[in-house]
Structure formats: C-alpha cells, structure tokens
Structure 1
Amino acid sequence: MNLNILLVEDDAALADLLATQLSEFGNTVTVAGDGQAAMAMLSANPFDAIILDRMLPRLDGMVVIEALRKQGITMPTLMLTALGQTMDKVEGLTAGADDYVVKPADPAEIEARLQALIRARRFPAGASDTVRVGDIVISPTKFRAWRHDRDLDLPRTEFKLLLVLARNAGAVMTRPMLIEQVWQYDFEPTTNIVDAYVRRLRVKMTQFGDDDLIVTARGVGYMLKAD
C-alpha cells in the first residue's frame, strides 16, 4: 500500500534522505522541520501515517503526539528517536505513539512497521474475527488454526506466530517486529528464536503435503504468501 506520510524531523539532511528512501517504496512524503509546522500541516492535510522525531524545536515530539491524541487524531504514528532506553520507549508509547524506532533505522524496517500499523487497524485487539489466507483459516478467539479443514494443532507460540504472519499476509515481517508481536520483547534475543519457531511452523503447515507458504526474506524476516 502506498502511503501519504508526514515526516517530522529537524535534521534537514536526515529528513531529505529518509524522505527519498521512503518515496522509493511508492510513498508520498511531506517533511515538517518542527513540531509547530507539523501541527499546522496535520490540520490542513490528510495523512495516512506520521513519522515523528521525539526531540524537536518549538514543540517537542512528545507534546505533539499528546496533543494529537487529545484532539482525537488517531492516525498511526511511529516515533523515531535517538533515545533508546526502555523507559524512553515506554514514555513514547504511553504518550500515544503506536510504535517506536531508534535511530539509525533501516528505511525498509520503517516502511515495514508503517505498513504493519496500517494493517493492524483492521484487526483491533480482542477482535473475534476469523482470519483467512488462502486455504488457511485461523480463529484468534479459539486459538485454533486449520488448513484444508485439517486442524494444525499448534502450540500457543506457533499459533501466535502464524496469526501475526496471516494478519500481515503478503508483507515481510522483520525479525524484530515478530519478536515484539509474538514474544512481546522490546529487544532482539541473542538466539535465533524466530528462525527456530518458523521451522517448526513450516513442519506443521506442510505435514499433509501442502506447499510451504512461508517465504524467507533473507537477512530481513518472513512473509506468508497472500491469496
């Protein structure tokens, strides 16, 4: 999905570079150099998502996100900052940010996270939806999954991994994103926990001779093929 993004960053060189990189994914990127400029642009233009630096002149990023949420502006917001301590992340998320990325960040990671935030709006927490991807059917409320009407009988972590991949079918989920959404870690473990669980899931998904639908994006993460 091509997005209309507001990038709020006071480092002009970094803003230009990141805007160019994100535009290469097909997005339209508008740059604001400070918090007040960002608020003015948001009041006059529709955007799909915001990338917000935390430390900004005139209006700090924390003040901006808190003001937006008080005004009922709920568009997905990714906070981009040099502050990487756990408490900094907690403060940003508590203020209303949807995600938090520490500089320097790979533009592909930022793009993947923005796309995931957009998709997540279709699956609110606690939703009783049934997720279908091709011949796979998943019931989040029952913690059960089927392929060709056969019960996959997945342990809880493998089920959560499949559900995250299915809700983001057709898009690459990076390892850090999977770690956050499946294991709820805000750091990347020293072990290859994601790769190990993907291997287990693949065995269950192909046990009846079906095709392997999990695609490896080498050096990045994994994707479940869409319909």
Structure 2
Amino acid sequence: MSEKILIVEDEAKIARVLQLELEYEGYQPSVVHDGLEAWGMIQETGYDLYILDVMLPGLSGMELLRRIRRKGTDDAVMMLTARGTTVDKVTGLDQGADDYVTKPFDMEELLARVRVLLRRKGKPAVAEEELVFKDIKLNLSRREAYRGDHLLELTPREYDLLVCFLEHPYHVLSREQLMDRVWGFDYAGETNVVDVYIRYLRQKLDKPFASSYLHTVRGTGYVLKEKSR
C-alpha cells in the first residue's frame, strides 16, 4: 500500500499541482484547503506525511502542527509557506516540523524531500515489494540486490543509490539529486562523494558482467540504461 499524504494548502492551483505530482510518484494524496476541515480529517484518518501551508483559513498550519504533535504520533510533517524569514522557519522546526519549504519551490526538490522524510520515518520509499530492471532485482523488505542469480554485496549507500536508479530508469539524475535522495538535505559534505560511490557501485553491478547499466552523462550526472559493451 502506498503512503498516504495530506496536503493542506489554500491556494487551489498549488494544491492541485502537488496532488498530481504525488499521484504520479505513486503516493495517495488528499487535498483540503481549510485548517479546521483538515483537523477533522486528521482525527478520522491516519496519514504518513502532512504537507501544511502556514497561512490557512480556520486553523493555521502552525496550530495544525501543534495538534498533530500533541497526538503523540511520529508522522512526518513538512511546512509549506510563502514566508522565508528565519523566525518562521525556526518556529516551525521548534514546534516539531520535520522540514520547511518556501514558495516558490522546485517540484523535483520537494519530491526528493518527501522521499527523505518518509525514509526517515521508517516508511518504504516505494510501494512495490521489488524493483526490477532487466536482470537486476531488488527485494525492498530484505534490502537484497541481485543481478541474475548473483547476490550483490552492497553497502547501505550503494544499495540506496541503486534504488534511486531503479526508481527512475532512463532518467538522467544529477549529483545533487542523488545526494539529496541518498545522503539527505542535512549532509554537509562535497558532491564528489557521489562520484566515489558510483564507482564503487559499478565495480559490483557492471564490471563482472557482459553488459553495463550505469552510464555517465558528461556535465549532467548519471543514468541507468542498457548498453552492450
């Protein structure tokens, strides 16, 4: 079952775009435009992630956040607002928000943050039990990776990198996207760590086999696709 996300946003166009993008990613988003109505839904239904606008009619996003946290649940909460001041951000984080995104935002960045939050809260990043590409198979519950019948001995970082590529085959992923999805937004290191781990992953995923899957797109990033040697 895919993760349930409640979007509480009074700007209808923004809410609709978020809903469509999250549905495309395989989640189950619901939309509400009023804080009081949202609180009623929250009391009746459990959600894996809340995306809350700060300025809402009925109840503010901050008040919704406080009520969610008073319930004692560990559900992920992302605050979404046009405000960009440090005071607003600190207030939200102090009240228990897991992340804070300022409008206007980049959709790919927001989706990456959603994936990070759900992983941190112990939710699977995808609904499927397995990810498959050609002769690569990942068992998500056991965190095992195979190429054909060969078990790949991957480190946790290598495994998470491979998950990213299998979730988006044939899509070029930049170093920044990979870093956000695997290392998280609070990682303070250099982006060249991605290149290092891509090299490690290639040694196990591609080198022993007749065909290679991980390819460099010069000046952009990396892509998973089939290409015979």
Q: Give the TM-score, by structure 2 length.
A: 0.60
Q: Which ranges of structure 1 fall in alignment gaps of 5 or more residues?
A: 124-128, 136-147, 153-158
Q: Is the 8 A contact 2:116 2:181 kept in 1?
A: no
- How far 1:68 moved relative to its partner? 0.6
RMSD, aligned CA: 4.5
Which of 161, 172, 195 lines up with 1:165 in the alignment? Answer: 161
Equivalent residues of 2:116, 2:184 under 8 A apart: no
Q: Which moved more, 1:194-203 or 1:32-41?
A: 194-203
SS at match of 2:58: coil
Match for 1:52: what amino acid? L
- Letter of the structure 2 residue corresponding to residue 11 of structure 1: E
2 CA distance for matches of 1:94 and 1:164?
Answer: 30
Q: Please list, as runs of the form range in 1=range in 2, the aligned pairs for 1:76-155 lying within 5 A after superposition.
A: 76-84=76-84, 88-120=88-120, 121-122=122-123, 131-134=143-146
Equivalent residue, structure 1, for 2:135: none
Aligned 8 A contact 1:119 1:168 in 2: no
Report the Cα offset of residue 9 of structure 1.
Answer: 0.6
Aligned equivalents of 1:196, 1:38: Cα separation in 2? 43
* Match in the other structure for 2:74: 74
**1:161-193 Cα shifts (integer Å, max 9, x gaps):** 42543676843587556545766655999x853
Distance 1:183 1:112, change over 3 A: closer
> How big is the shift at 1:71?
0.9
Q: 1:165 to 1:196 in 2, by over 3 A?
A: closer
For the residues of structure 2 that align with 1:183 and 1:115, how far apart are their CA atoms? 12
User: Residue 134 of structure 1: SS of its match in structure 2?
Assistant: strand
1:64 corresponds to which residue?
A: 64
Distance 1:196 1:202, change over 3 A: same
The alignment of Structure 1 onto Structure 2 pairs a total of residues equal to 202
Summarize deviations over 1:133-187 as a string: whole Å, max 9, x none. 337xxxxxxxxxxxx68977xxxxxx66425436768435875565457666559
Unaligned 5+ segments in structure 2 are 125-140, 225-229
Q: Which amino acid counterpart does residue 133 of structure 1 have in structure 2?
A: A
Equivalent AA in structure 1 for residue 144 of structure 2: R
User: Displacement, 1:48?
Assistant: 3.3
Contact 2:214–2:222 under 8 Å retained in 1:
no
Contact 2:12 2:33 in 1 (8 A): yes
In the aligned structure 2, how far is the partner of 1:112 from the partner of 1:199? 19
